[in-house]
């Protein structure tokens, strides 16, 4: 019984950890939406520098 309870607790802890990481990633991407939008424009700037 004790080992089964420990396994169940470990599974719930893993689920909570995954949910925490998921929320952390979504929070990070939602906050850094401006830098993410700037990323596609950076290669074009490098391309113009290479052509010039």
pLDDT averaged over consecutive 10-residue blocks of the chain (52 residues)? 81 83 81 55 56 54
Cα gap 33→40, rounded to integer Å: 12
Residue 21's pLDDT is: 86
Q: Which residue has the tokens 């939602």?
A: 30
Residue 35's pLDDT is: 53
Buried-state track 14-29, b at ≥16 Cβ within 10 A, e below 16: eeeeeeeeeeeeeeee
Query: Please, are residues 22 and 29 in contact by the beta-carbon 8 Å criterion?
Result: no
Residue 14's pLDDT is: 81
Residues in the chain: 52
Query: Please, are residues 29 and 36 in contact by the beta-carbon 8 Å criterion?
Result: yes
Residue 6's pLDDT is: 83
Determine if the pTM surpasses 0.85: no
């Amino acid at each position: 019984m004790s080992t089964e309870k420990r396994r169940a607790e470990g599974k719930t802890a893993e689920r909570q950890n995954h949910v925490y990481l998921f929320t952390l990633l979504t929070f990070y991407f939602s906050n850094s939406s401006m830098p993410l939008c700037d990323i596609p424009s950076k290669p074009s700037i490098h391309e113009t520098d290479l052509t010039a």
